[in-house]
Structure formats: structure tokens, C-alpha cells
Amino acid sequence: GQNIDQPTEMTATEGAIVQINCTYQTSGFNGLFWYQQHAGEAPTFLSYNVLDGLEEKGRFSSFLSRSKGYSYLLLKELQMKDSASYLCAVPSGTYKYIFGTGTRLKVLA
């Protein structure tokens, strides 16, 4: 079957580094997306990985290992505004995306 697993909740301290993991099982692979969703707001695109390795974008980085079916989102120098849910998603055929349940990150002062 096709499935995505990610932790339900994580807590970290302002200024720290946090890593949110995502493992996936899909019949094919056409990249992996990370979205950020603040409470009551739209999910917004953070990153897209299709090749193995680390992609850095400011304080946020995303890593992919296709052989392991594994990705992580790394958030550095955490800020209070980073408190949000982080959704991992993989395309699964035309017009279909499989989403994880999302990881709710709480950043404490």
C-alpha cells in the first residue's frame, strides 16, 4: 500500500534546531513536498525534493533519501512564528498526492 508516516507532535525551544522526519511507501516516486500550515490558515509550499541530498533554503532545509523512503525537514534558529503543522506529501499518479497526518510543532520561549 501507499503510506506516509510522520510524528504527530514535536516541541522545541526558540533558537534551537529541530528535525521533522517523514517516511513514505509509494508504488512510484515523483518527488516529495513539504508544506507549512499555521492554525486557521492555508498550507503553503516549503520545499520539493526529487533527487537525493539536502536542499537548503534559508533557515529551512529538506533532505531526501529515495533508497530509504525517507525525508526530513530541518528548521534552524527556531522562531515563535515557526509554530505550525508541517505536512509531508508525495505525488501518487496524476492529480493525486498522498499526505501525511502532519507534524504539529510547538516552539517555546
Partner 1 sequence: ETGVTQTPRHLVMGMTNKKSLKCEQHLGHNAMYWYKQSAKKPLELMFVYSLEERVENNSVPSRFSPECPNSSHLFLHLHTLQPEDSALYLCASSQDGGGAGELFFGEGSRLTVL
Ranges assigned E (strand) in 1-109: 3-5, 9-13, 18-25, 32-37, 44-49, 53-57, 60-65, 70-75, 84-91, 97-99, 103-108
Give yes or no for residue 21 binding partner 1 (CB under 8 A): no
- State the minimum distance, in angstroms, from the CB of residue 108 to partner 1: 22
List alpha helices for the chain, DSSP H: none
Give yes or no for residue 52 binding partner 1 (CB under 8 A): no
By CB under 8 A, which span of 33-41, 54-62, 65-73, 74-82 interacts with partner 1? Answer: 33-41
Q: Name which position in 64, 100, 103, 105 contacts partner 1 (CB under 8 A).
A: 100
